[in-house]
Amino acid sequence: MDHFIACAPCPAGRSERTHRRQRSAGLAGATSKLVSVEGPRWEEDGHGLAVHVARRLTSRAGPLAALLLCAASLLFFLGRLSASPAALLAGAGANQAQVRSAHAVYGLDGPISQQYVTFMTRALRLDFGHSPAHQAPALELVRMRLPATLLLAAAALAATALLAVSLGVWLGLRTERPAHGWAFRLLLTGQSLPALVVGLILVQAFGLTPTAGASSPLTFMLSALTLTWWLGPRAARLTAGSVAGAARQAWVLTASAMGATSRDLLWRHVLPNSLLATLALVGVQVAFLLSAAVVVEWLFGWPGVGDLPVGSMRSGDFPVVEAAIFAIAFLVFASYALIDLVLAAVDPRLRRRPTAR
């Protein structure tokens, strides 16, 4: 077949290692034709990477607007179902004068349709009011907590990529060994444990309290470990299955028969075709990771965005709850968009102009 590159006869003085490297180098170009799929490169239509990124982000503007509209509408109606919105906005322990002032400031003395328009207009301006408990803008409080949550999520994702993916690759290449079955049983056991249970065990083991452990390095490590424990088994199991499936594909068997080294097989052929599913899984699990971060941050007292709405709901600080939920919804969508761009960069099948669905 013309997809394969024949190797020239090896001179007598050349080592077997050099000859194998030549065959592997030739095979890399040949098998890239075998595994590649139809899909235009970034520059084939005369535009660069920035234009394609702008197109994909523009196509996500409509879903983003719909998501934020639904989140704001849900907050609007829940605030009116739970209690008087003026009492929530005025804060716990507010007197009648403060409640009447909240009615006037937030436009709550008109019909429900007018209240909805006023609320959505303020939400579009990112104006969620002032926190009665902290005497500060609600969105500013969320912005101050945001770096701690991003740091915790980044640490959990990095630990998952380092530990879970490595374990998945190791298991995927050893499907016929007895240890494979026991390792999968342990992964299933770890996946079945909720993050709250793992966090409670760690809290009891280290004798932590939410106030005593706030912002300490131990709290950060235990919080990241809890989130990694929640996400790691899923990523390890999917990576193991993808690696095992890719290792049995025709192009890998052909490369092995033509003398490619184990390192070349793993890094050039198996991993590029198996980690796409793991990357997509991590992107999908971002929403669940942020929801788990709410519980974990509250449990360990980590000062992030996840801990903020829990304490605000206890104190009746509804503007902060609105701003925190709005920010979390935006973070989830931004994470999905980022993963979509990364997958489009590494997968030729996605290098097309996205179409509206």
Residue range 129-176, pLDDT digits in tens: 888 777 888 889 999 988 888 899 889 988 988 888 888 888 888 877
Domains of the chain: 61-136 (no CATH), 137-315 (1.10.3720.10)
Give pLDDT, residue 332. Answer: 82
Average pLDDT rounded to a whole number, residues 32-57: 53
List of residues 6+ apart from 186 with CB closer than 8 A:
none
Give pLDDT, residue 281. Answer: 83
C-alpha 332: how far from its chain's center? 8
Return the higher-pLDDT residue of 209 and 208: 208
Give pLDDT, residue 337. Answer: 82
Q: Of 15-24, 78-87, 215-224, 297-306, give the lowest mean pLDDT range.
A: 15-24
Helix, strand, coil percentages in the chain from 3-state DSSP, rounded to 5: 75, 0, 25
Return the higher-pLDDT residue of 196 and 47: 196
Q: If you search the block for the tokens 């997509």, which residue do you land on?
A: 280
Give pLDDT, residue 279. Answer: 84
Q: Of 222-226, 310-314, 326-330, give the lowest mean pLDDT range.
A: 310-314
The answer to whether the Cα torsion of 256, 260, 261, 264 is positive or negative is negative
Mean pLDDT, rounded, of the chain: 75
Q: At 41, is the pLDDT very low, low, confident or very high (cuts 50, 70, 90)? A: very low
Q: Of 35-49, 84-98, 223-237, 273-287, give the lowest mean pLDDT range.
A: 35-49
The answer to whether the Cα torsion of 284, 286, 290, 295 is positive or negative is positive
Average pLDDT rounded to a whole number, residues 284-296: 80
Give pLDDT, residue 214. Answer: 56
Q: Provide the b/e sequence for 170-191 (b: ≥16 CB within 10 Å).
A: bbbbebeeeebeebbeebeebe
Q: Report d(CA 88, CA 94) in Å as an integer.
A: 9
Q: Of 52-56, 150-154, 216-220, give the lowest mean pLDDT range.
A: 52-56
Give pLDDT, residue 8. Answer: 39
Q: Report d(CA 236, CA 125) in Å as an integer.
A: 42
pLDDT at 12 over 50: no
Give pLDDT, residue 351. Answer: 59
Distances 185 to 67, 160, 171, 188, 196 between C-alpha atoms, Å: 38, 19, 12, 5, 21
Q: Let me know: does 303 contact 214? Beta carbons within 8 Å.
A: yes
Q: Let me know: does 100 contact 87? Beta carbons within 8 Å.
A: no
Q: Let me know: does 154 contact 309? Beta carbons within 8 Å.
A: no
pLDDT at 187 over 60: yes
pTM for this model (two decimals)? 0.70
Long-range contacts of 67-76 (CB under 8 A, 24+ apart): 67/329, 67/333, 68/123, 68/326, 68/329, 68/330, 69/120, 71/325, 71/326, 71/329, 72/119, 72/120, 72/123, 72/326, 73/116, 73/120, 75/321, 75/322, 75/325, 75/326, 76/115, 76/116, 76/119, 76/120
pLDDT at 11 over 70: no
pLDDT at 45 over 70: no
Burial of 226 (0-12, 13-18, 19+ CB in 10 A): buried
- Torsions phi, psi for 351 (to 5 deg): -90, 55
